Amino acid sequence: MTRQTTLAAVRDGLIEEMRRDPLVWAVGEDLHIGGLYGQYHGLLDEFGPDRIVASPISEAMIVSAGLGGALAGTRPVVDMRIADFALPAIDELVNQTAKARFMFGGQASVSTVVRLPQGIMASSAAQHSQSLESWYVHTPGLVVLAPSTPADCKGLLKSAIRCDDPVILIEPRALWQEDGEIPDGDHCVPIGVARMARKGKDLYHRHLVGDDGAGSGYCRHNSRKRHRHRADRS
């Protein structure tokens, strides 16, 4: 096990996948300088401008480049910098990327990952801090992933890159500097399997407490706090 921040873990995860598969490449704004948060730091030096592609400020073009690359047989990683910035490309995401496999009668594989760093951060204001995952969950054809720990952020990114369907990867910005234990080796987290952080008995058995991304961390923190409070009273 290695202890890393989420930011370092996802960077390593992408490097591992790009070394493993030469068809993996990334496109987005500011990737040539390491990305908005540093999650692409050093990748241009190792993989070159053909695989770390810095784009103009045109979200629709960025998503379209990913779609075209996937239809051509590569595995693009599309970076939107901030989840809110994907809204100008909603047609390319919802009407094109999500539906391409079905429009071609199942003959097309759209193996693209759209990274959406989202949530509240300092100075992010109302137009840079929205949580939009529910929109994508209601779109047939998209796989939506919302990791909540550094290990899950890395493992789900690696699994998303290997997936043959388009994946929306919700990356909680509040977790960028949170650290955690990362399993050694080729750490992939299975897609479609929920993780139970903790069982409890304080709610009716028919109720489920769940959240995605950073919210799960808040739930775990409050659960531990409540558990300590009950122990102090006993």
- Tell me the residue ranges of DSSP E strands in the chain: 2-5, 24-28, 52-54, 75-79, 113-118, 143-145, 167-172, 179-182
Annotated catalytic residue: which of 32, 41, 128, 207? 128
Active-site residue 227, yes or no?
A: no
- The residue extents of the domains of the chain are 2-182, 196-234
Q: What is the pLDDT along the chain (234 residues), one digit of tens a residue?
A: 899 999 999 999 999 999 999 999 999 999 999 998 899 999 999 999 999 999 999 999 999 999 999 999 999 999 999 999 999 999 999 999 999 999 999 999 999 999 999 987 666 677 666 888 888 999 999 999 999 999 999 999 999 999 999 999 999 988 889 999 999 999 999 998 877 767 766 654 333 334 455 555 555 555 555 555 555 555
Among 3.40.50.720, 3.40.50.1220, 3.30.450.20, 3.40.50.970, name the CATH number for the domain at 2-182: 3.40.50.970
